[in-house]
Amino acid sequence: MESKSIKISEENYRWLLGLAAEMQKKYGRTVTFDDTLNEVKSIAMRKKKSLVGLAGSWDMSDEEWADIKKGLKKGWKKWKIPSA
C-alpha cells in the first residue's frame, strides 16, 4: 500500500486519536489512523446516500410548499375509493 504524509492540526490529531481509541475498544484490536479514516468515510457515505441526509437542503418558499400540497391533495382525491 502506498502511503502519503499529511499535516493536520493538533486538535484534529487528538480527535482522530480519540476515535481510534474508541474503535480499538469496540473491536478489541489495534486500529490504525487509516482504519479510523476509513470508518469515518464509510459513515459519511452512508449518510450521504440516506434520504434523511437531504433534510433541510431544499430551500422553498411558503407559496411553493402550498402549491405542492395542493397538487398532492388533488392527486389523492383522484385515487379515493368511493364508499358503498
Non-local (6+) Cβ contacts of 40 within 8 A are 19
Per-residue pLDDT tens over the stretch 24-76: 999 999 999 999 999 999 888 777 666 665 666 667 788 888 888 888 887 77
The amino acid that residue 72 corresponds to is L
**Is the residue at 26 inside a domain?**
yes
Domain that holds residue 41: 8-53
**Is the residue at 83 inside a domain?**
no
Three-state SS string across 1-61, please? CCCCCCCCCHHHHHHHHHHHHHHHHHHCCCCCHHHHHHHHHHHHHHHHHCHHHHCCCCCCC
**Is the residue at 64 inside a domain?**
no
**Is the residue at 22 inside a domain?**
yes
- What does pTM read for this prediction? 0.53
The count of structural domains within the chain is: 1
